[in-house]
């Protein structure tokens, strides 16, 4: 009896990588590989990597060392590296790491089966060419619809914005959008498989199809997705504030299926820093979009990303970031110390603040956000929220779901309720989640 070959897949970084990894699993299943959680029993190890900050990249090299030792005991083990570090390093990675068999970039998933077959036959290879617009259909291979409650659907990838600190345009290439027909087809298949919520994914979804005349733009795409029966809730991520149009803002007023949450990274509250970052808006323009969103949808919850210690950020600029946070009242905020990425514009700037200064700013920012998050979570106490049940909580003792505003909520109930949107009364707002009880009528 032949035993299935085993794939051990590790994913680093953002949701785009998580979504690509789902496609990798589907592609490898097609070659007879079953996924395993134990690298020691694997025949094929694939790392889907991230290079957004130096720490992310270092983790990849750390993990590669671990697989090198496993391969010593099992020389037939095939090791592949994909994603953003692979895109950056290409052939160099094969030279630096002789135990690596294949390197595939962010536009090369459609070549992966051939590369793994070549590796099985003893050939090492690297593919990191970007696809041009005509080949864009190859960029979005289909992933198997295995149901679940909530799923990501990629609508575009790449970025044309070139924020001065960011490696993404360099490793993901130019913005390329998937056709609306393909997006809708995938959403329909997911709805039929029982999926309740879709999260439309792209580095900058607001500029969806801006280079494809004849395709619907993002607000129109949202309206089309909202017509799919069975999908009860729609989210999208990530939005660039400069491309947040009034028409998109109005979708929050008009589309009941669109969840009242937006991830809208400001990155800084200082106009001088925003300009050096090449973000294309000022703090007051950002705040005007926030105000328009609150007007269109008074219950909307904001999350965001913020960078501290960007070159040229002094104490006064940092205080402007804190003031912007105070005004927005983010439900949650992801905050990072600036990390110079080779090849980006900002890597040429003098990095003037000391490590200790940056760390101290990060801690002040995070302490302030922690207070806001708790206060906001407490403000839900006594309210009734629409919660989409995702399944059991991590402790296994209660159910876990998310409010429209994307706040994690736990409550008692039957696991068979997974996939349903229920009225849940919030009884307690904690630091990281809400506690509630199902409202029975």
**Beta-carbon count within 10 A of 355 CB:** 10
Q: Does 336 bind ligand 5AD (CB under 6 A)?
A: yes
CA distance 423 to 420: 10
- Binding positions for ligand SF4, 165-204, rule CB under 6 A: 166, 168-169, 203-204
Q: Is 297 annotated as a binding residue?
A: no
CB 300 to ligand SF4: min, Å: 21
Q: Is 312 in the site for ligand 5AD (CB under 6 A)?
A: no
Asked if residue 365 binds ligand 5AD (CB under 6 A), the reply is: no
| Interaction residues for ligand SF4, span 36-65 (CB under 6 A) | none
Residue that the structure tokens 């439309």 belong to: 200
Asked if 353 interacts with ligand 5AD (CB under 6 A), we say no
Q: Which does 53 bind (CB under 5 to 8 A by kind): ligand 5AD, ligand SF4, none?
A: ligand 5AD
Part of the chain binding ligand SF4 (CB under 6 A), chosen from 157-165, 382-390, 413-421, 427-435 = 157-165
Q: How much of the chain is in helix, strand and coil states, percent to nearest 5?
A: 40, 20, 35
* Closest distance of CB 406 from ligand 5AD, Å: 17
By CB under 6 A, the residues from 158 to 187 that bind ligand 5AD are 165-166
Using CB under 6 A as the binding rule, whether residue 163 contacts ligand SF4 is answered as yes
- CB-neighbour burial class of residue 76 (10 A; exposed 0-12, middle 13-18, buried 19+): exposed
**Residue 166 assigned as binding residue:** yes
Q: Work out whether strand 125-127 and strand 102-104 pair parallel, antiparallel, or are unpaired.
A: parallel
Across 286-348, where does the E strand assignment appear? 301-308, 332-337
Using DSSP, state whether 199 is helix, strand or coil.
strand
Nearer to ligand 5AD, 224 or 340 (CB): 340
- To ligand SF4, the closest distance from the beta carbon of 275 in angstroms equals 14
* Closest C-alpha to 139, from 119, 158, 126, 163: 158
* Residue placing its CB nearer to ligand 5AD in the complex, 137 or 162: 162
- Dihedral sign, Cα of residue 364, residue 369, residue 375, residue 381: negative
Q: What distance in Å separates the CA atoms of residue 205 and residue 217, rounded to the nearest whole number? A: 10
The reply on whether position 307 binds ligand 5AD by CB under 6 A is yes
Q: Which partner from the list ligand SF4, ligand 5AD, none does 61 bind, CB cut-off 5 to 8 Å by kind?
A: none
Does 240 interact with ligand SF4 (rule: CB under 6 A)? Answer: yes
Q: Please give the Cα distance from 405 to 403 (Å, whole number).
A: 5
Q: Cα torsion at 101, 12, 274, 377 (round to 10°)?
A: 170
Q: Is 251 annotated as a binding residue?
A: no
64 burial level (CB within 10 Å; 0-12, 13-18, 19+): buried
Binding site as annotated, residues = 14, 50, 84, 159, 163, 166
Binding site for ligand SF4 (CB under 6 A): 159, 161-163, 166, 168-169, 203-204, 240
Give the binding site for ligand 5AD (CB under 6 A). Answer: 52-53, 165-166, 265, 267, 305, 307, 336, 338-339, 341
């Amino acid at each position: 009896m032949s035993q299935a070959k085993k794939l051990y897949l590790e994913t680093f970084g953002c949701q785009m990588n998580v979504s690509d990894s789902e496609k990798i699993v589907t592609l490898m299943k097609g070659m007879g590989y079953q996924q395993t959680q134990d690298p020691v029993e694997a025949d094929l190890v694939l790392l889907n990597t991230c290079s957004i900050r130096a720490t992310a990249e270092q983790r990849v090299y750390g993990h590669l060392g671990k697989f090198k030792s496993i391969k010593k005991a099992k020389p037939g083990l095939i090791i592949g590296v994909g994603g953003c570090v692979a895109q950056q390093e290409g052939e160099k990675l094969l030279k630096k790491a002789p135990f690596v068999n294949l390197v595939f970039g962010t536009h090369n998933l459609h070549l992966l089966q051939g590369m793994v077959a070549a590796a099985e036959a003893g050939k090492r290879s690297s593919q990191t060419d970007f696809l041009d617009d005509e080949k864009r259909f190859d960029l979005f291979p289909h992933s198997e619809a295995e149901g679940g409650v909530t799923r990501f659907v990629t609508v575009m990838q790449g970025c044309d914005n070139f924020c001065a600190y960011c490696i993404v345009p360099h490793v993901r290439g130019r913005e390329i959008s998937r056709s609306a027909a393909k997006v809708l087809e995938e959403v329909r298949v997911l709805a039929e498989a029982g999926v309740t919520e879709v999260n439309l994914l792209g580095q900058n979804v607001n500029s969806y199809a801006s280079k494809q005349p004849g395709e619907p733009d993002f607000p129109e795409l949202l309206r089309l997705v909202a017509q799919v029966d069975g999908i009860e809730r729609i989210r999208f991520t990530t939005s660039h504030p400069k491309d947040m149009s009034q028409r998109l803002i109005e979708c929050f007023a008009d589309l009941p299926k669109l969840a009242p949450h937006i991830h809208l990274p400001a990155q800084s509250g200082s106009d001088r820093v925003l300009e050096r970052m090449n973000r294309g808006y000022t703090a007051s323009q950002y705040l005007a979009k926030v105000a328009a969103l609150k007007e269109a949808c008074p219950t909307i919850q904001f999350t965001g990303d913020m960078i501290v210690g960007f070159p040229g950020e002094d104490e006064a600029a940092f205080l402007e970031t804190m003031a912007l946070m105070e005004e927005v009242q983010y439900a949650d905020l992801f905050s990072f110390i600036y990390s110079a990425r080779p090849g980006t514009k900002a890597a040429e700037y003098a990095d003037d603040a000391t490590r200790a200064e940056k760390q101290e700013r990060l801690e002040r920012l995070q302490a302030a956000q922690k207070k806001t998050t708790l206060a906001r979570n407490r403000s839900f106490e006594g309210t009734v929220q629409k919660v989409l049940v995702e399944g059991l909580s991590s402790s296994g003792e209660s159910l876990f779901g998310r409010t429209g505003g994307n706040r994690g909520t736990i409550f008692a109930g039957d696991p068979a309720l997974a996939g349903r949107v229920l009225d849940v009364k919030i009884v307690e707002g904690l630091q990281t989640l809400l506690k509630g009880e199902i409202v029975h009528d």
